[in-house]
Structure 1
Amino acid sequence: MKLDFDKMGGLIPAIIQDNNTNKVLMLGFMNEEAFEQTRQTGKVTFYSRSKNRLWMKGETSGNVLKVVDITADCDNDTLLVKAIPAGPVCHTGNDTCFGEENAEDIMFLKYLQNFIERRRQDMPEGSYTTSLFSKGVNRMAQKVGEEAVETVIEATNGTEEGFIYEASDMIYHLIVLLTSKGMRIEDLARELKKRHKE
């Protein structure tokens, strides 16, 4: 990544985006040293224009920003940093520096699959998810079918609460099955998007 630090006197803007919710959290500036420290430590470090020094986000509050990915724009003079915040990002205590709540419920499905993938890698004892992976793809597929039937029963003869509960079970087991097949929930979104007609 060949970045152009010359346009703004040695600094480039860095847009920080939550990797899980896609919310823009804040905007800061990096010089070359801050950029290198961010890459090496995996924690977002800025150049503070008011303090005239490097400043790791969360160095006093503990609310660090753990780097997931760094991408430069087409002119190589702005960065998009996808990160996972350890707490509120703004010094005011708000989730973001733009006063927005950092929550998109639909994005929890992405977080959940990341968690399920970690379970598959670590296979901790006593975990229900571990037990599903241990029993293999046939059992995982069977569980999706069982939960689908229970969802249909609740939809036709049950309660709204029961329907949401069983549908959630079905989605969870489907994500486990997707993970076992090396696929992501985003693959389903892409397939549905491809089929969609206005």
Structure 2
Amino acid sequence: MIEIEKLKFGADGLIPVVVQDYYTKKVLTVAYMNRESLEISIKEGHTCFWSRSRQELWRKGATSGNVQRIVSITADCDYDALTAQVIKNGPACHTGADSCFNNVIYQNEQKNPFSLNALYKLIEGRKTDKLEGSYTTYLFEKGLDKILKKVGEECTEVIIGAKNDDNAETIYEIADLTYHLLVLMVERGISLSEVSDELAKRHVVDKKVKQETSKTQ
């Protein structure tokens, strides 16, 4: 672990911090810290930045509740930039988005990896901008009962695939189930980040339980 004295703050007394989701590794935002805000972040275990626009300390989530619990802070090879891995509680962006980085400037079509976020956005678009002939649009037009019926059917198909000891079939059906769950989430207005945050909370609770159990043994 390095000492803060080794860090190279800029002429304005600031150092850039790339904030990254601990679980997904997604970049959430880029902010700045001065020595005081870094020391507060380390002491309190939650991100505290320096707001360049307001010229004051900015404890992330102080008003919104969208705090970021720090897992680690790492310096680069020149000690003039930081990466903070965090477990976030709610959106990272002031717009309410999961991340500040959502505006695609360039995308290599030959290197366009699949992501649940991209699929969620596509499904979301099928609800707001209906496409004739689209199965997803059809589900939204039929409504919640139809979507729930499909989720139930796909759950059964996953069980059958697993009971048949057929991994290929099980994977196929899990993919179908995942898609229909995403449709249900969009229909109910549930975001991926809300599910991710719920899982993160359970993970933290599990660790605490294990720690408490080990102490009593």
Q: 3-state DSSP class of the match of 1:81?
A: strand
Residue 160 (structure 1) shift: 4.8
Equivalent residue number for residue 58 of structure 1: 61
Q: 3-state DSSP class of the match of 2:20?
A: strand
After superposition, give the CA deviation of every residue in 1:27-79 in whole Å (9 maximum; x if it has no partner): 00000000000000010000111111110111110001110000000110100
Equivalent residue number for residue 153 of structure 1: 165
- Uncovered stretches (5+) of structure 1, i.e. residues with no partner: 106-149, 166-198
Q: Structure 1 runs of 4+ off > 3 angstroms?
A: 154-165
Residue 4 (structure 1) shift: 0.9
CA distance in 2, matches of 1:22, 1:63: 18
7, 27, 50: which one pairs with 1:3?
Answer: 7
Residue 154 (structure 1) shift: 3.6
CA distance in 2, matches of 1:74, 1:158: 45
Aligned residues: 119
> In structure 2, do the counterparts of structure 1 residues 44 and 162 end up closer, same or farther at CA, with 3 Å as the change threshold?
closer
Residues 11, 31 of structure 1: 8 Å contact kept: yes
Residues 17, 23 of structure 1: 8 Å contact kept: yes
Equivalent residue number for residue 38 of structure 1: 41
Equivalent residue number for residue 119 of structure 1: none
Tell me whether 1:19 sits opposite 2:28 in the alignment: no
CA distance in 2, matches of 1:22, 1:70: 14
After superposition, give the CA deviation of every residue in 1:150-195 in whole Å (9 maximum; x if it has no partner): 5662448989538999xxxxxxxxxxxxxxxxxxxxxxxxxxxxxx
Q: 3-state DSSP class of the match of 1:153?
A: coil
Q: What TM-score does the superposition give when structure 1 sets the normalisation length? A: 0.53
82, 86, 90: which one pairs with 2:85?
Answer: 82
Q: What TM-score does the superposition give when structure 2 sets the normalisation length? A: 0.48
Residue 81 (structure 1) shift: 0.2
- Uncovered stretches (5+) of structure 2, i.e. residues with no partner: 104-114, 117-161, 178-217
CA distance in 2, matches of 1:41, 1:52: 21
User: Sequence identity of aligned pairs in percent?
Assistant: 44
Q: 3-state DSSP class of the match of 1:74?
A: coil
CA distance in 2, matches of 1:48, 1:160: 48
Q: 3-state DSSP class of the match of 2:40?
A: helix
Equivalent residue number for residue 132 of structure 2: none
Q: Aligned Cα RMSD in Å?
A: 3.0
CA distance in 1, matches of 2:37, 2:21: 19
CA distance in 2, matches of 1:97, 1:52: 21
> In structure 2, do the counterparts of structure 1 residues 162 and 50 end up closer, same or farther at CA, with 3 Å as the change threshold?
closer
Equivalent residue number for residue 182 of structure 1: none
